[in-house]
Each structure stands twice: as C-alpha cells, then as structure tokens.
C-alpha cells in the first residue's frame, strides 16, 4: 500500500530565515505530487504540483519554491520566510494523470509552520 511522509511535523521559524519541508511517498512510482497550504480558518490553496522529476508548476506567485530531485521526493523551500507564510503545509500524491482514479489525491500528515 502507499504511504506518504512529511517532516517536520511542526516548525517555528523567525522571519527572514530559510525553510525546507520534505515529502516522500512509498509504494507507488511516478506519482503526481502536490504542495498545498491551509491558513488558519481558510481552505486549501494549491502552491505547486509536479508530474515528474524536475518538473514543477507553480500555481501562485510567492516567495516559496519547490523541487523534485527524485521520483518520490518533493521539497518545499523558501530563502526568507514572511509572517504570512505561517500555515499548515500539506503534501499530496495522486496516480499519474489519465489512469483510473488519477483524480483522487491522498494527503500526508502535514507540517504546521509558525513564522515569528
């Protein structure tokens, strides 16, 4: 069965510090990978998605970036955090687009980031 891991689970960082969040998926190959952010009391906002190694699409302009150095690894980064970057960051995976149930996404446990 497939599992998705994220770390760290919680993070408190000062404004202006760098960020690196990691997500890995097990039990599947060539998944689509996604980064979402959920701000307090708000809905999920898609930040980035990737259909393969080195292929990143950005949904919203921001001071965040994403990378996919390996098939089942997805990293979210920032060079300098802003207060507005606080939130719950969720990684998700889906089967490659076009196959059965490729529209279903499965989420990792998330990282709760507080920028102080």
Binding-site ranges for other proteins (CB under 8 A): 32, 42-44, 46, 49, 51, 57, 88, 90, 97, 101-110, 112
Residue placing its CB nearer to other proteins in the complex, 57 or 70: 57
Residue placing its CB nearer to other proteins in the complex, 19 or 90: 90
Residue placing its CB nearer to other proteins in the complex, 5 or 80: 5
Give min distance, CB of 16 to other proteins, in A. Answer: 27
Residue placing its CB nearer to other proteins in the complex, 75 or 90: 90
Q: How far is CA 97 from CA 23, 50, 101, in A?
A: 20, 11, 9
DSSP string, 78-116: ESS--GGG-EEEEEEEEPPTTSTTTT--EE---EEEEE-
CA-to-CA distance for 113 and 116, rounded, in angstroms?
10
CA-to-CA distance for 38 and 112, rounded, in angstroms?
9
Give min distance, CB of 80 to other proteins, in A. Answer: 27
Give min distance, CB of 10 to other proteins, in A. Answer: 10
Give min distance, CB of 11 to other proteins, in A. Answer: 14
* Residue that the structure tokens 């952010």 belong to: 37
């Amino acid at each position: 069965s497939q599992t998705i891991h994220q770390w760290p689970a919680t993070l408190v960082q000062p404004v202006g510090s760098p960020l690196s969040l990691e997500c890995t998926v097990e039990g599947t190959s060539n998944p689509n990978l996604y980064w979402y952010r959920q701000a307090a009391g708000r809905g999920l906002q898609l930040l980035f998605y990737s259909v393969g190694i080195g292929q990143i699409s950005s949904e919203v302009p921001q001071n965040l970036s994403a990378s996919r150095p390996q098939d089942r690894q997805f990293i979210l980064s920032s060079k300098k955090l802003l207060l507005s970057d606080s939130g719950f960051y969720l990684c998700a995976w889906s089967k490659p687009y076009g196959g059965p149930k490729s529209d279903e996404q499965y989420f990792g446990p998330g990282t709760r980031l507080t920028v102080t």
